[in-house]
Structure 1
Amino acid sequence: MKRGWWIVFQKEIKELLTDRKMWLGSIVLPLLVMPALMLFIAKMQAGAAEDARKNINVALVGHNARVEQAISKIPEMHLVEKSDPLQALKDGDVRAVVTIGEQFDQQVQAQKPAGLTIAYDPSNQKSEAAHGLVQQTLQVLSQEVAAERLTKLNVPPETLLPFDVQSIDTSEENQKAGSALGFIVPLLLVLSCVTGAMPVATDLMAGEKERGTLEALLTAPVNSRQVLTGKLLSVSVMSFLSALLSTLAMVATFRFMPSSEGDSSQDLHFSLSYLSAVDVLTILGALFFVSIMFGALMLGVSSLAKTYKEAQTYLAPFVFVAMVPVYATMMMSINEIPTQYFLLPVLNTTTLMKEVLYGVSDPAHVAMVFGSSLVFAILAVVLTANLFRRESLIVKG
């Protein structure tokens, strides 16, 4: 004869698979949301970067032929006349205002520093990008004027360049991808565990209590521990299934994104084609323990509610619980993450995923994360088991 927990597990899974809400929340959404969100982020960033360097209107106050020529030489920049340039900048009609000092020409001829100011709006990303481009253009013009002055004095321009400083990019493609995605990917995958478990835990405990079917199940020839085990497995399986589908959707999306998005995706370094099967299994292993922990905790919290809607209210904070650890490591490089982070619940999983996305594989960190996650999963199961023994939390009313 089959074990009681297996009978309960089969019964719950069959009911879940015939429930449209469960299919939508735990299976359909991860398959659709992850690729759609990643493609949306890539397109938005590529579009924003491209749009910031197009049709840059610059207002010019004062006149100087060389300054006007230098700015007009850039195809993306257009000089426009405005009666009130600063107001036009605030209104977004221009992205920068270049003011030429009244004594500019005389100062240049006298070989003195000539005054130029660039007004821009740092709160506007397009204005900030325009400021950088205008500043770079005027710096090039300044260097040209300086070179002309040195030539008149029979001094080689190289005299003022005692150092030849060059920058070398030592990062690899996987590190660039990890830097770009080390925040959003762990956030989405951990949230998928929560969103996959939440509707199941709500229905299997508070929902059945409200319908009165939980009491009937407890009168069946299976003990309460087997009932809890079957329900816990059901919640954990749906939670992990949601995380699994999200992970596979993420990997598939990024593997094909460069060929489908073209050069813009390459420039944004959104390809995760460097991830190996071991890397993916490491991520899934960490998410497996998170699924069990969240599944047990949500099942326990759901038992505190008397109705389905009340359980939804109680379980809503789990979304924030999943988000906080990700935000805690958002601005950290993998070299800055403290060792204790690999031992804290949820935070250990997000830091491990961040390392994997950076292309770093540290067996010690993997062992710490898996070991600590196992401990937290066991503690969550024990806590829920103790709540399940309280008749007042299980029986309706």
Structure 2
Amino acid sequence: MREVLAIYWKEISDAMRDRRTLLMVLASSLLLVPVLLFVFSTVMSQVESQAVDRSVMAVNIKDAPSLENYILRQGYEIKTAPADYEEKSRSKELIKPVLLVPENFEQDLQSAKRVELEIAYDTSNRQAEMGLGPLRQLLNGYARERSSLELMMRGVSPDLLQSISVKERHISRPDERRVTITAALPMVLIMAIVMGGMFAAIDSTAGERERGSLEPLMMNPVSGFQLAIGKTAAVATVSVLIVILTVSSFFPAQLLIANEALRAEFQFGIKDALAFMIVLIPLAAALSSLQVALSLTCKSFKEANVRNQLLSLAVSFMPMFFIVNPGKEPAWLGWVPVMAQTQMMNQVLKGELVALNAIGLALLVCSVIVAGSLLFVSRKMREVVME
């Protein structure tokens, strides 16, 4: 046990002195979540600002007095679009779509001719595109009102054409939280764990092989299993530290949320933080052991970096299953690391209780990964000396 602790403290000291590891720990754990929540909330605020903005930019609105009257009755203000609205939209100076009214609009309507309204906006202007939905709803409302009035003038009740009404009935629990863009946070947390422990794993294995310091370490009276435990535990400590710091950063990050609706929705408390740590700490240990095992098969830092980047890429793609398949999750997900943790974190964010058997199954799978990786590393350590 004394030998394992000596190896552990040696690896921890080296990891904390390594600037790359220290930078990844601080950047991925303390800054990532606050920055992302701030960006998410800013985007939501921009969308909502377009939805509540009660103004319409229009060209030639005087040729459509009935449309103008309808827009004003809905509480909107009509603004004349600048003559160079196309250029201003491309340059992002104009952040609203522009309604284009054709000439003789009213006369064509009176003559029962089909008329066409256009909405002009630059597709690369995201803010202008956000205002497209409210303007479409406004114009659809005008079209429905116009059609109803024409039917009534001909003695036909509009209700005859609308014999079916549809309304929504929400069956979600009253205490269930809504999840919007914060559903991306579990994937961000997992990536922080993978990237944060990567350099520590590479430096303690492939880095030492490249520097020639691993072979002298093997000359000490320690077994390969003791070396495997000491090195893996050191890397796992770095990853667990990232988990603790990242989850803790959720609390000050809530103060940076710039959107009132998101701030009210994203209520992250002590119980949620503890649930996240219970879910993530075993995964951090499992991923760390995999990184150590993978890095030990490489003879250079560069080679190990490439292989670990491939591992990070594979891990980052796994949570996307929930995006492409948003229905009921299959039962086998509980056996798949990363995906099981993502599922449980999503449940925590929704305010749901995570089943104890799901936590136990995830812990079992992570333990098997750690045990298998330790056995591989302990055997590989002896082979490294013989190479």
Q: Note whether the superposition's TM-score is higher than 0.5.
A: yes
Distance (Å, rounded) in 1 between the aligned partners of 2:31 and 2:299: 33
Residue 88 of structure 1: how far off its partner (Å): 8.7
Residue 239 of structure 1: how far off its partner (Å): 1.0
* Partner-residue secondary structure (3-state), 2:323: coil
Aligned to 2:304: 311
Residue 366 of structure 1: how far off its partner (Å): 2.7
Aligned to 1:141: 142
Distance 1:113 1:190, change over 3 A: same
Distance 1:77 1:357, change over 3 A: farther
The one-letter code of the counterpart of 1:325 is M
Contact 2:97–2:120, Cα closer than 8 Å, also in 1: yes
Q: Does 1:350 align with 2:342?
A: yes
Distance (Å, rounded) in 1 between the aligned partners of 2:19 and 2:100: 60
TM-score (norm 1): 0.80
Contact 2:192–2:242, Cα closer than 8 Å, also in 1: yes
Distance (Å, rounded) in 2 between the aligned partners of 1:116 and 1:157: 23
Greater Cα shift, 98-107 or 39-48: 98-107
Aligned to 1:10: 9
Q: Does 1:232 align with 2:252?
A: no
Contact 1:22–1:200, Cα closer than 8 Å, also in 2: yes
The one-letter code of the counterpart of 1:20 is R
Aligned residue pairs: how many?
381
Aligned to 1:377: 370
Gaps of 5+ in 1: none
- The within-5 A match list for 1:293-304 is 293-304=286-297
Distance (Å, rounded) in 1 between the aligned partners of 2:178 and 2:152: 46
Contact 1:26–1:242, Cα closer than 8 Å, also in 2: yes
Distance 1:143 1:47, change over 3 A: closer
TM-score (norm 2): 0.82
* Partner-residue secondary structure (3-state), 1:329: helix
Aligned to 1:185: 185
Contact 1:57–1:79, Cα closer than 8 Å, also in 2: yes
Deviations 1:36-70 (A, max 9, x none): 22212212332354257657533348822111343
Q: Does 1:31 align with 2:24?
A: no
Greater Cα shift, 291-300 or 64-73: 64-73
Residue 195 of structure 1: how far off its partner (Å): 1.5
Distance (Å, rounded) in 1 between the aligned partners of 2:196 and 2:65: 64
Aligned to 1:200: 200
The one-letter code of the counterpart of 1:378 is A
Aligned to 1:268: 262
Q: Does 1:290 align with 2:283?
A: yes
Residue 113 of structure 1: how far off its partner (Å): 7.6
* Partner-residue secondary structure (3-state), 1:316: helix
Gaps of 5+ in 2: none
Pairwise CA RMSD: 3.6
Residue of 360, 384, 391 corresponding to 2:352: 360
Distance 1:138 1:52, change over 3 A: closer
Contact 1:72–1:79, Cα closer than 8 Å, also in 2: no
Residue of 305, 316, 329 corresponding to 1:337: 329
Residue 317 of structure 1: how far off its partner (Å): 1.4
Distance 1:87 1:234, change over 3 A: closer
Aligned to 2:45: 46
Distance (Å, rounded) in 1 between the aligned partners of 2:309 and 2:300: 14
Distance (Å, rounded) in 2 between the aligned partners of 1:302 and 1:116: 63
- The within-5 A match list for 1:205-216 is 205-216=205-216
Contact 1:289–1:377, Cα closer than 8 Å, also in 2: no
Contact 1:342–1:365, Cα closer than 8 Å, also in 2: yes
Greater Cα shift, 367-376 or 289-298: 367-376
